[in-house]
């Protein structure tokens, strides 16, 4: 079984369905009910409704409970382009919370993978760091990160201090603003009706659904500011390419703009 969170559908459904037909099932979790209904209809129309199932739920809350009755092994969990919730006071709404790390560790089989990606660097940093600080006993960076020419590294000077200000001052503020603009551009592109139903990183109601559904069991990130924690995994860099082989629509759009996507692949020990 493969679990995807925030996978952006339409033209990607057939590719996902083909992957499912090679063995196992693919479950896609999304907060956007309208997208889930439409995607399930598309999957049925494309003949892969038995291999791919879209579920309207909050993965932060429901993942472990939902998969506790799944009869087969879970081999891959993907968190792709989650809502960035740029404002610090809204970070508690982010999908990647400590309890999600523990839930993923509990359902993933040994040797299974966790794939994280976003076009907002701070979001990928936070995802990587929460998995490292909460799940280092269960996960390690995949060997794909150590292949020649497989990775790239963040430019120095982009790190933020704990109060949200940049060590380089204006530079990081500009970078975060650019990330927000890129994020908004992806949403606008998806909503223009060009045959794509991209959920993007938000993108059902700008995170309101996530807050209403609980954002996390405690509604708090009591562990601290994940973006600014020291990381040994950072030495592995960001993967240049998607190791799963099925790009999301947002991923396709971002790369068409020649903008970076920050990817991490982890393996369950």
Residues marked as catalytic:
83
CB count within 10 Å of CB 177 equals: 11
Here the tokens at position 144 are: 């794909």
- Are residues 29 and 199 in contact, defined by beta-carbon separation less than 8 angstroms? no
Half-sphere exposure of 3 (CA within 13 A, CB side): 31
**DSSP string covering 67-115, please?**
HTT-SS-EEEEEEES-----SGGGGGGSS--HHHHHHHHHHEEEEEEEE
Collect all residues with Cβ–Cβ distance below 8 Å to 74 and sequence separation of at least 6. 1, 2, 3, 67, 107, 108, 109, 112
Q: Could you give the angle at which helices 13-21 and 33-45 cross, rounded to 10 degrees? A: 60
Q: How far is CA 240 from the centre of its chain?
A: 16
- Residue 181 buriedness (CB in 10 A; 0-12 / 13-18 / 19+): exposed
């Amino acid at each position: 079984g493969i679990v995807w969170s925030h996978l952006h559908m339409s033209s990607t459904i057939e590719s996902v369905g083909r992957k499912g037909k090679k063995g196992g099932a693919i479950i896609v979790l999304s907060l956007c009910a309208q997208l889930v209904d439409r995607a399930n209809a598309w999957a049925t129309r494309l003949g892969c409704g038995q291999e791919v199932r879209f579920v309207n739920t909050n993965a932060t809350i429901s993942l472990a409970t939902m998969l506790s009755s799944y009869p087969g092994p879970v081999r891959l969990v993907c968190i792709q382009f989650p809502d960035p919730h740029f404002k610090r006071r809204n970070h508690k709404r982010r999908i990647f919370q400590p309890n999600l790390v523990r839930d993923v560790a509990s359902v993933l089989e040994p040797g299974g993978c966790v794939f994280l990606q976003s076009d907002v660097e701070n979001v990928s940093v936070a995802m990587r760091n929460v998995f490292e600080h909460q799940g280092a006993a269960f996960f390690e960076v995949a060997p794909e990160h150590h292949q020649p020419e497989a990775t790239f590294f963040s430019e120095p000077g982009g790190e933020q201090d704990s109060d949200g200000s940049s060590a380089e001052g204006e530079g990081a503020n500009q970078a975060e603003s650019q990330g927000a603009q890129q994020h908004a551009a992806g949403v606008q592109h998806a909503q223009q009706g060009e045959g794509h139903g991209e959920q993007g990183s938000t993108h059902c109601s700008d995170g309101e659904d996530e807050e209403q559904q609980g954002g996390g069991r405690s509604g708090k990130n009591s562990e601290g500011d994940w973006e600014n924690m020291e990381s040994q995994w950072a030495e592995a860099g960001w993967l240049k390419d998607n190791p799963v082989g099925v790009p999301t629509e947002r991923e396709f759009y971002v790369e068409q703009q020649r903008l970076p996507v920050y990817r991490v692949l982890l393996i369950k020990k």
